Amino acid sequence: MTEASLIGLLEATVSFGALLYLAALGEMITEKAGILNLGVEGMMAIGAVTGFVVALQTGNPWVALVAAIAAGALIGLLHGLFTVVLGAEQVVSGLSLTILGIGLAAYIGTGSVGQPAGAELVPVDWGPLSDIPWAGPVLFQQSPLVYMAVLAGLAAWFVLGRTRLGLAVRAAGESAPTADAAGHSVAGLRLGAVATGGALAGAFGAWRPGRVALGALLFGLTLALKTRLQTFGVGFSPILLSMLPYLLTVGVLVAISIRSRNRPSPAPAALGIAYRREER
């Protein structure tokens, strides 16, 4: 393995990890408010195809990004309609959303198959920082989405842990009746969280922004290895490489279960439980 190939692996890990982090962060926010969303893959598919199609039509990557975020938020609100407003079973709604999103994305993108990207986000130029050995290409020659993911994580940490809005969101996820009694709109908080989760899209990391980041980087590494391991001269079955992310998922879940065996669960107490306000 050469130095250039190792740097390329680390660069890809950060790039993949940032995209996964945005998705995971969105799901963490959704779950903090007490809503379980298993439709993340569908939202990501809709966002991706929307961004691609809009980029083809406009040639502007930022317009495409905004359109992708809006599409993900709308699909997230569809999940909110069923689970928050109508009180539907959250697991069933989420899985249905995945199937709907993937199918709808395939339909929308039919006419764009085989076409080159209409526009791409240019890597940020950090000047002299980009020339630092190793750190330059890995950290300072990335797409704007990587730095947006960092800012989004910091914003989520601050809002959820240091603001009244964050306290209200966490209250909706821990004890919806208590949040209601305090004068907060549980439905409004949960719909807002679901829309935010749809805009960011994903799930991993034990409900803490820092752990979400570590989890996203781990998954990013497995994806980077999947696309590069054979180029390093390592004889490894492509089928086994495709299994790496899922094996990692099982391993992390087992580790979290063992670690939490004698501790209170970090999951929001009202996660997955529908709430209907009683008339007074």
Residue identified by tokens 């709308």 is 74
pLDDT surpassing 70 at residue 271: yes
In-domain check, residue 92:
yes
pLDDT in the model for residue 277: 67
In-domain check, residue 177:
yes
pLDDT in the model for residue 53: 92
Q: What is the mean pLDDT of residues 241-256?
A: 77
In-domain check, residue 187:
yes
pLDDT in the model for residue 83: 93
145-162: pLDDT as tens digits? 999 999 999 999 999 989
Q: What is the mean pLDDT of residues 237-254?
A: 76
Of residues 269 and 122, the one with the higher pLDDT is 122
pLDDT in the model for residue 224: 83
pLDDT in the model for residue 280: 44
pLDDT in the model for residue 116: 85
In-domain check, residue 270:
no
pLDDT surpassing 50 at residue 279: no
In-domain check, residue 275:
no
Q: What is the CA radius of gyration of the chain?
A: 20
pLDDT surpassing 60 at residue 118: yes
In-domain check, residue 266:
no
How far is the C-alpha of 230 from the C-alpha of 223, rounded, in Å? Answer: 13
Work out the angle at residue 33's Cα, subtended by the Cα atoms of residues 191 and 152, and round it to the nearest 5 degrees: 85
The rounded mean pLDDT for the chain is 84
pLDDT in the model for residue 111: 84
In-domain check, residue 93:
yes
**Domain of 15: which CATH number?**
1.10.3470.10
Number of domains in the chain: 1
25-79: pLDDT as tens digits? 888 899 999 998 888 889 989 999 999 999 999 999 999 999 999 999 999 999 9
Three-state SS string over the chain comes to CCHHHHHHHHHHHHHHHHHHHHHHHHHHHHHHCCCCCCCHHHHHHHHHHHHHHHHHHHCCHHHHHHHHHHHHHHHHHHHHHHHHHCCCCHHHHHHHHHHHHHHHHHHHCHHHCCCCCCCCCCCCCCHHHHHCCCHHHHHCCCCHHHHHHHHHHHHHHHHHHHCHHHHHHHHHHHCHHHHHHCCCCHHHHHHHHHHHHHHHCCCCCCCCHHHHHHHHHHHHHHHHHHHHHHHHCCCCCHHHHHHHHHHHHHHHHHHHHHHCCCCCCCCCCCCCCCCCCCCC
Percent of all residues in the chain with a pLDDT value above 70, rounded to a whole number: 87
pLDDT in the model for residue 206: 41
Give the structural domain span for 81.
3-113+131-259
pLDDT in the model for residue 231: 65
In-domain check, residue 265:
no
How far is the C-alpha of 220 from the C-alpha of 5, rounded, in Å? Answer: 16
Q: Classify each residue of 129-156 as buried b or exposed e, where b means 16 or more C-beta atoms within 10 Å of its C-beta.
A: ebeeeeebbbbbbbbeebeebeebbeeb
How far is the C-alpha of 172 from the C-alpha of 33, rounded, in Å? Answer: 5
How far is the C-alpha of 167 from the C-alpha of 163, rounded, in Å? Answer: 6
Q: What is the mean pLDDT of residues 85-94?
A: 91
pLDDT in the model for residue 238: 66
pLDDT surpassing 80 at residue 204: no
